[in-house]
Structure 1
Amino acid sequence: MEAKSAEKRESGVQRPGCQGPVGRNEEDVAMANPLHVSEPGGERLVFPDGAIELVIKIPGAATDGAFAVFEDVVRPGAGPARHLHRDQDETFFVEDGRFDFEIEGTLIHAGPGDIAFVPKGVVHAFKNVGADHGRLRFMFTPAGESEAMFRAFLAAAHKRPLTLETMNEIAMNYGQTFVGPPL
Protein backbone atom coordinates (compact mmCIF):
# COMPACT_ATOMS: atom_id res chain seq x y z
CA MET A 1 0.00 0.00 0.00
CA GLU A 2 1.24 3.46 -0.85
CA ALA A 3 1.47 5.98 1.99
CA LYS A 4 -0.54 9.17 1.59
CA SER A 5 1.44 12.36 1.43
CA ALA A 6 1.30 14.53 4.54
CA GLU A 7 1.23 17.63 2.35
CA LYS A 8 -1.93 19.71 2.25
CA ARG A 9 -3.02 20.45 -1.29
CA GLU A 10 -4.11 24.05 -1.71
CA SER A 11 -6.87 25.16 -4.00
CA GLY A 12 -7.27 28.74 -5.03
CA VAL A 13 -5.58 31.44 -7.03
CA GLN A 14 -2.53 33.57 -6.50
CA ARG A 15 -3.33 37.21 -5.74
CA PRO A 16 -0.84 40.03 -6.11
CA GLY A 17 0.52 40.99 -2.70
CA CYS A 18 -0.53 37.70 -1.06
CA GLN A 19 1.82 34.97 0.08
CA GLY A 20 0.74 31.63 -1.33
CA PRO A 21 -2.55 30.69 -2.98
CA VAL A 22 -5.83 32.12 -1.75
CA GLY A 23 -8.40 29.51 -0.86
CA ARG A 24 -9.05 26.66 1.49
CA ASN A 25 -7.06 23.45 1.67
CA GLU A 26 -8.66 20.01 1.43
CA GLU A 27 -8.70 19.58 5.22
CA ASP A 28 -10.63 22.85 5.64
CA VAL A 29 -13.14 21.94 2.95
CA ALA A 30 -13.75 18.54 4.56
CA MET A 31 -14.81 20.31 7.78
CA ALA A 32 -17.66 22.24 6.14
CA ASN A 33 -20.90 20.39 5.36
CA PRO A 34 -23.35 20.96 2.50
CA LEU A 35 -26.22 23.20 3.51
CA HIS A 36 -29.63 24.19 2.19
CA VAL A 37 -31.73 26.97 3.72
CA SER A 38 -35.41 27.18 2.79
CA GLU A 39 -37.53 30.34 2.87
CA PRO A 40 -38.28 31.82 5.34
CA GLY A 41 -35.51 29.96 7.19
CA GLY A 42 -33.20 31.55 9.68
CA GLU A 43 -33.18 33.32 13.01
CA ARG A 44 -35.04 36.66 12.86
CA LEU A 45 -33.71 39.76 14.68
CA VAL A 46 -36.21 42.64 14.71
CA PHE A 47 -35.08 45.95 16.18
CA PRO A 48 -37.52 47.94 18.37
CA ASP A 49 -37.90 50.91 16.00
CA GLY A 50 -38.62 48.63 13.04
CA ALA A 51 -35.81 50.15 10.97
CA ILE A 52 -33.89 46.88 10.93
CA GLU A 53 -35.25 43.38 10.45
CA LEU A 54 -32.45 40.88 9.96
CA VAL A 55 -32.60 37.17 9.26
CA ILE A 56 -29.50 35.06 9.80
CA LYS A 57 -29.78 32.87 6.69
CA ILE A 58 -26.46 31.02 7.03
CA PRO A 59 -24.57 31.39 10.32
CA GLY A 60 -20.79 31.38 10.24
CA ALA A 61 -20.67 28.14 12.24
CA ALA A 62 -22.42 26.35 9.35
CA THR A 63 -19.54 27.25 7.00
CA ASP A 64 -16.72 26.70 9.47
CA GLY A 65 -16.34 30.49 9.57
CA ALA A 66 -15.79 30.90 5.83
CA PHE A 67 -18.80 33.24 5.45
CA ALA A 68 -22.17 34.21 6.91
CA VAL A 69 -25.28 35.28 4.97
CA PHE A 70 -28.02 37.62 6.19
CA GLU A 71 -31.26 39.03 4.82
CA ASP A 72 -32.16 42.61 5.70
CA VAL A 73 -35.67 44.01 5.24
CA VAL A 74 -35.19 47.78 5.18
CA ARG A 75 -37.96 50.34 5.58
CA PRO A 76 -38.03 53.36 3.22
CA GLY A 77 -35.38 55.94 4.10
CA ALA A 78 -33.50 53.58 6.45
CA GLY A 79 -29.95 52.28 6.36
CA PRO A 80 -26.90 51.98 8.59
CA ALA A 81 -24.45 54.69 9.55
CA ARG A 82 -21.26 54.87 7.49
CA HIS A 83 -18.92 52.16 8.73
CA LEU A 84 -16.10 49.81 7.87
CA HIS A 85 -15.14 46.24 8.71
CA ARG A 86 -11.47 45.71 9.58
CA ASP A 87 -11.36 41.98 8.88
CA GLN A 88 -14.26 41.17 6.56
CA ASP A 89 -15.32 41.79 2.99
CA GLU A 90 -19.05 42.45 2.57
CA THR A 91 -21.11 41.61 -0.51
CA PHE A 92 -24.66 42.95 -1.00
CA PHE A 93 -27.30 41.39 -3.27
CA VAL A 94 -30.35 43.60 -3.90
CA GLU A 95 -33.43 41.36 -3.90
CA ASP A 96 -36.29 43.91 -3.87
CA GLY A 97 -36.48 47.69 -3.91
CA ARG A 98 -34.15 50.55 -4.78
CA PHE A 99 -31.03 51.30 -2.76
CA ASP A 100 -28.27 53.85 -2.82
CA PHE A 101 -24.88 52.59 -1.72
CA GLU A 102 -22.01 54.85 -0.81
CA ILE A 103 -18.75 52.96 -1.10
CA GLU A 104 -15.63 54.93 -0.24
CA GLY A 105 -17.36 58.17 -1.25
CA THR A 106 -18.81 56.87 -4.55
CA LEU A 107 -22.61 56.81 -4.83
CA ILE A 108 -24.12 53.77 -6.56
CA HIS A 109 -27.82 53.40 -7.44
CA ALA A 110 -28.90 49.76 -7.26
CA GLY A 111 -32.03 47.74 -7.91
CA PRO A 112 -33.14 44.10 -7.98
CA GLY A 113 -30.41 41.79 -9.21
CA ASP A 114 -27.58 44.26 -8.57
CA ILE A 115 -24.58 43.28 -6.48
CA ALA A 116 -22.20 45.55 -4.57
CA PHE A 117 -18.87 44.35 -3.17
CA VAL A 118 -17.08 46.18 -0.34
CA PRO A 119 -13.53 45.08 0.54
CA LYS A 120 -12.48 45.09 4.18
CA GLY A 121 -11.36 48.48 5.46
CA VAL A 122 -13.57 50.45 3.03
CA VAL A 123 -16.12 52.93 4.43
CA HIS A 124 -19.64 52.25 3.19
CA ALA A 125 -23.35 52.67 3.88
CA PHE A 126 -26.64 52.10 2.10
CA LYS A 127 -30.14 53.54 2.17
CA ASN A 128 -33.49 52.30 0.91
CA VAL A 129 -34.50 55.08 -1.51
CA GLY A 130 -37.70 53.36 -2.62
CA ALA A 131 -41.26 54.04 -1.48
CA ASP A 132 -41.69 50.51 -0.04
CA HIS A 133 -39.67 48.18 2.15
CA GLY A 134 -36.65 46.79 0.32
CA ARG A 135 -34.78 43.55 0.78
CA LEU A 136 -31.05 42.88 0.66
CA ARG A 137 -29.03 39.76 1.18
CA PHE A 138 -25.51 40.34 2.34
CA MET A 139 -22.53 38.17 3.09
CA PHE A 140 -19.52 38.65 5.34
CA THR A 141 -16.32 36.89 4.27
CA PRO A 142 -15.01 35.51 6.55
CA ALA A 143 -17.98 35.22 8.88
CA GLY A 144 -16.19 36.59 11.93
CA GLU A 145 -18.57 37.16 14.83
CA SER A 146 -21.19 38.96 12.76
CA GLU A 147 -24.19 37.21 14.34
CA ALA A 148 -22.95 38.03 17.84
CA MET A 149 -22.47 41.66 16.80
CA PHE A 150 -26.05 41.99 15.52
CA ARG A 151 -27.39 40.32 18.67
CA ALA A 152 -25.38 42.79 20.80
CA PHE A 153 -26.81 45.73 18.79
CA LEU A 154 -30.32 44.33 19.29
CA ALA A 155 -29.86 43.90 23.05
CA ALA A 156 -28.55 47.48 23.35
CA ALA A 157 -31.40 48.85 21.20
CA HIS A 158 -33.92 47.44 23.70
CA LYS A 159 -32.25 49.48 26.47
CA ARG A 160 -31.46 52.81 24.79
CA PRO A 161 -31.31 54.54 21.39
CA LEU A 162 -28.39 53.39 19.24
CA THR A 163 -26.24 56.49 18.90
CA LEU A 164 -22.98 56.46 16.95
CA GLU A 165 -21.12 56.36 20.28
CA THR A 166 -23.19 53.42 21.56
CA MET A 167 -22.75 51.52 18.29
CA ASN A 168 -18.97 52.02 18.36
CA GLU A 169 -18.78 50.77 21.96
CA ILE A 170 -20.29 47.51 20.70
CA ALA A 171 -18.72 47.40 17.23
CA MET A 172 -15.14 47.73 18.46
CA ASN A 173 -15.46 44.21 19.90
CA TYR A 174 -16.31 42.82 16.46
CA GLY A 175 -13.84 44.55 14.12
CA GLN A 176 -16.26 47.23 12.92
CA THR A 177 -16.06 51.02 13.23
CA PHE A 178 -18.82 53.55 12.60
CA VAL A 179 -17.35 56.72 11.10
CA GLY A 180 -20.30 58.93 10.20
CA PRO A 181 -24.03 59.37 9.87
CA PRO A 182 -26.33 57.33 7.63
CA LEU A 183 -26.83 58.43 4.01
Structure 2
Amino acid sequence: MLDKASQVRANPADETISHGGLAVRFLLTGDQSNGSIAAFELTVAGSQRLPAPAHSHDHYEETMYGIEGVLTLTVDGHRHDIGPSQALCIPRGAVHRFDNDTAETAKVLCVVTPAAIGPDYFREAFAIFSTGGPPDRARLMDLMRRFGLTPAPPPPQV
Protein backbone atom coordinates (compact mmCIF):
# COMPACT_ATOMS: atom_id res chain seq x y z
CA MET A 1 0.00 0.00 0.00
CA LEU A 2 1.30 3.48 -0.91
CA ASP A 3 1.55 6.10 1.79
CA LYS A 4 -0.20 9.45 1.26
CA ALA A 5 3.05 11.34 0.68
CA SER A 6 3.92 9.14 -2.31
CA GLN A 7 0.55 9.98 -3.91
CA VAL A 8 1.10 13.75 -3.76
CA ARG A 9 2.34 15.36 -6.99
CA ALA A 10 2.17 18.68 -8.80
CA ASN A 11 -0.69 19.17 -11.27
CA PRO A 12 -2.17 15.68 -10.82
CA ALA A 13 -5.02 16.35 -13.29
CA ASP A 14 -2.97 18.08 -16.05
CA GLU A 15 -5.59 17.83 -18.79
CA THR A 16 -6.47 20.50 -21.35
CA ILE A 17 -9.94 20.67 -22.89
CA SER A 18 -10.48 23.24 -25.64
CA HIS A 19 -12.91 24.53 -28.21
CA GLY A 20 -12.62 27.55 -30.46
CA GLY A 21 -10.87 30.31 -28.54
CA LEU A 22 -11.34 28.74 -25.10
CA ALA A 23 -9.03 26.30 -23.31
CA VAL A 24 -9.41 24.84 -19.83
CA ARG A 25 -6.34 23.19 -18.32
CA PHE A 26 -7.23 21.31 -15.16
CA LEU A 27 -4.50 21.25 -12.58
CA LEU A 28 -6.39 19.71 -9.67
CA THR A 29 -9.83 18.09 -9.49
CA GLY A 30 -12.10 17.10 -6.64
CA ASP A 31 -10.92 13.51 -7.07
CA GLN A 32 -7.41 14.59 -6.06
CA SER A 33 -8.47 16.93 -3.22
CA ASN A 34 -11.14 14.92 -1.40
CA GLY A 35 -13.67 17.28 -3.00
CA SER A 36 -12.31 20.39 -1.30
CA ILE A 37 -10.95 22.30 -4.31
CA ALA A 38 -10.65 22.26 -8.09
CA ALA A 39 -8.14 24.46 -9.90
CA PHE A 40 -7.80 25.14 -13.61
CA GLU A 41 -6.29 27.66 -15.99
CA LEU A 42 -8.76 29.29 -18.33
CA THR A 43 -7.33 30.74 -21.55
CA VAL A 44 -9.59 32.99 -23.61
CA ALA A 45 -8.53 34.22 -27.06
CA GLY A 46 -8.80 37.90 -27.89
CA SER A 47 -12.32 39.17 -28.67
CA GLN A 48 -13.83 35.87 -27.47
CA ARG A 49 -17.24 35.85 -25.79
CA LEU A 50 -18.39 33.07 -23.48
CA PRO A 51 -20.77 30.92 -25.57
CA ALA A 52 -22.77 29.80 -22.50
CA PRO A 53 -25.31 32.09 -20.83
CA ALA A 54 -24.63 33.97 -17.63
CA HIS A 55 -25.19 31.72 -14.65
CA SER A 56 -24.88 31.33 -10.91
CA HIS A 57 -23.99 28.45 -8.63
CA ASP A 58 -25.36 27.96 -5.14
CA HIS A 59 -22.96 25.25 -3.96
CA TYR A 60 -19.52 26.75 -4.49
CA GLU A 61 -17.44 29.91 -4.78
CA GLU A 62 -15.32 30.58 -7.84
CA THR A 63 -12.22 32.73 -7.53
CA MET A 64 -10.35 33.98 -10.60
CA TYR A 65 -6.76 35.20 -10.49
CA GLY A 66 -5.31 37.02 -13.51
CA ILE A 67 -2.17 35.58 -15.08
CA GLU A 68 -1.98 37.43 -18.42
CA GLY A 69 -4.14 39.74 -20.50
CA VAL A 70 -7.44 41.13 -19.22
CA LEU A 71 -10.66 39.16 -18.76
CA THR A 72 -13.87 41.08 -18.13
CA LEU A 73 -16.21 39.46 -15.64
CA THR A 74 -19.73 40.73 -15.20
CA VAL A 75 -21.00 39.84 -11.72
CA ASP A 76 -24.56 40.80 -10.77
CA GLY A 77 -24.51 43.45 -13.51
CA HIS A 78 -21.17 45.04 -12.51
CA ARG A 79 -18.15 44.76 -14.83
CA HIS A 80 -14.73 43.89 -13.42
CA ASP A 81 -11.55 43.79 -15.51
CA ILE A 82 -9.18 41.17 -14.09
CA GLY A 83 -5.56 41.52 -15.17
CA PRO A 84 -2.30 39.99 -13.99
CA SER A 85 -1.97 39.69 -10.20
CA GLN A 86 -5.62 40.62 -9.60
CA ALA A 87 -8.21 38.30 -8.03
CA LEU A 88 -11.99 38.30 -7.90
CA CYS A 89 -14.14 35.96 -5.80
CA ILE A 90 -17.58 35.21 -7.25
CA PRO A 91 -19.81 34.37 -4.28
CA ARG A 92 -22.43 31.66 -4.31
CA GLY A 93 -25.63 32.81 -6.01
CA ALA A 94 -24.05 35.73 -7.94
CA VAL A 95 -25.03 35.80 -11.63
CA HIS A 96 -21.89 36.08 -13.73
CA ARG A 97 -20.22 35.62 -17.10
CA PHE A 98 -16.89 36.52 -18.69
CA ASP A 99 -15.69 37.88 -22.00
CA ASN A 100 -12.37 38.92 -23.44
CA ASP A 101 -13.02 42.41 -24.80
CA THR A 102 -9.40 42.94 -25.89
CA ALA A 103 -7.37 41.71 -28.86
CA GLU A 104 -4.89 40.01 -26.50
CA THR A 105 -5.26 36.47 -25.14
CA ALA A 106 -6.24 36.37 -21.45
CA LYS A 107 -5.41 33.66 -18.95
CA VAL A 108 -6.77 33.29 -15.42
CA LEU A 109 -6.42 30.71 -12.70
CA CYS A 110 -9.87 29.55 -11.52
CA VAL A 111 -10.28 28.02 -8.09
CA VAL A 112 -13.58 26.36 -7.20
CA THR A 113 -14.33 25.61 -3.54
CA PRO A 114 -15.58 23.05 -2.87
CA ALA A 115 -14.76 21.17 -6.08
CA ALA A 116 -18.30 20.91 -7.45
CA ILE A 117 -17.28 21.11 -11.12
CA GLY A 118 -14.59 19.31 -13.06
CA PRO A 119 -13.39 18.24 -16.51
CA ASP A 120 -16.57 16.29 -17.33
CA TYR A 121 -18.60 19.51 -17.45
CA PHE A 122 -16.24 21.15 -19.93
CA ARG A 123 -15.96 18.02 -22.12
CA GLU A 124 -19.75 17.88 -22.44
CA ALA A 125 -20.15 21.65 -22.91
CA PHE A 126 -17.50 21.85 -25.63
CA ALA A 127 -19.14 18.87 -27.40
CA ILE A 128 -22.42 20.84 -27.47
CA PHE A 129 -20.61 23.91 -28.86
CA SER A 130 -18.75 21.97 -31.56
CA THR A 131 -21.79 20.90 -33.59
CA GLY A 132 -21.08 23.53 -36.25
CA GLY A 133 -24.31 25.48 -35.75
CA PRO A 134 -25.86 27.25 -32.81
CA PRO A 135 -25.62 25.15 -29.64
CA ASP A 136 -28.65 23.11 -28.62
CA ARG A 137 -29.99 25.39 -25.87
CA ALA A 138 -32.05 22.64 -24.18
CA ARG A 139 -29.00 20.32 -23.96
CA LEU A 140 -26.86 23.16 -22.65
CA MET A 141 -29.40 24.13 -19.98
CA ASP A 142 -29.71 20.49 -18.89
CA LEU A 143 -25.92 20.14 -18.69
CA MET A 144 -25.56 23.31 -16.64
CA ARG A 145 -28.24 22.23 -14.16
CA ARG A 146 -26.74 18.73 -13.78
CA PHE A 147 -23.43 20.31 -12.74
CA GLY A 148 -24.96 22.82 -10.30
CA LEU A 149 -25.01 25.89 -12.54
CA THR A 150 -28.25 27.89 -12.72
CA PRO A 151 -28.62 29.60 -16.11
CA ALA A 152 -29.70 33.22 -15.79
CA PRO A 153 -32.73 34.31 -17.79
CA PRO A 154 -31.84 36.18 -20.97
CA PRO A 155 -31.64 39.95 -20.56
CA PRO A 156 -34.80 41.83 -21.57
CA GLN A 157 -34.92 42.99 -25.17
CA VAL A 158 -35.10 46.76 -25.56
State the alpha-carbon separation in 2 of the partners of residues 152 and 91 from structure 1.
22
| 2:10 maps to which of 25, 36, 43 | 36
Other-structure match for 1:56: 26
The answer (yes or no) to whether the contact 1:88–1:120 under 8 Å persists in 2 is yes
CA contact (8 A) 2:65 2:82 kept: no
CA contact (8 A) 1:67 1:143 kept: yes
Identity of aligned residues (%): 23
Could you say which structure has the larger radius of gyration? 1
Alpha-carbon distance in 1 for matches of 2:123, 2:134 = 15
1:172/1:135 CA distance change after superposition, 3 Å: same
Structure 1: how far apart are the matches of 2:142 and 2:121? 11
Q: Using a 3 Å threshold, how does the CA distance of structure 1 residues 92 and 180 change in structure 2: closer, same or farther? A: farther
Q: Deviation string for 1:161-183 (max 9, x for gaps)?
A: 4354432121111110221569x
User: Equivalences for 1:125-136 in 2 at 5 Å?
Assistant: 125-136=97-108
Q: Which runs of 5+ in 1 are unaligned?
A: 1-29
Contact 1:97/1:134 (8 A) holds in 2: yes
What RMSD in Å do the two structures reach over aligned CA positions? 2.3
Paired residue for 1:74? 44
Structure 2, unmatched stretches of 5+, are none
Stretch moving more, 87-96 or 76-85: 76-85
When normalised by structure 1's length, the TM-score is 0.71
Is 1:114 matched up with 2:86?
yes
Q: C-alpha offsets along residues 12-61 of structure 1, whole Å, 9 cap, x if unaligned?
A: xxxxxxxxxxxxxxxxxx8xx644229xx7101011xx121111111111
How many positions carry a matched residue from both structures?
147
TM-score (norm 2): 0.81
Q: Which residue of 2 aligns with 1:6?
A: none
Amino acid at match of 1:111: G
Segments of 4+ in structure 1 off by > 6 A? none
Query: Which one of 142, 148, 156 corresponds to residue 169 of structure 1?
Result: 142
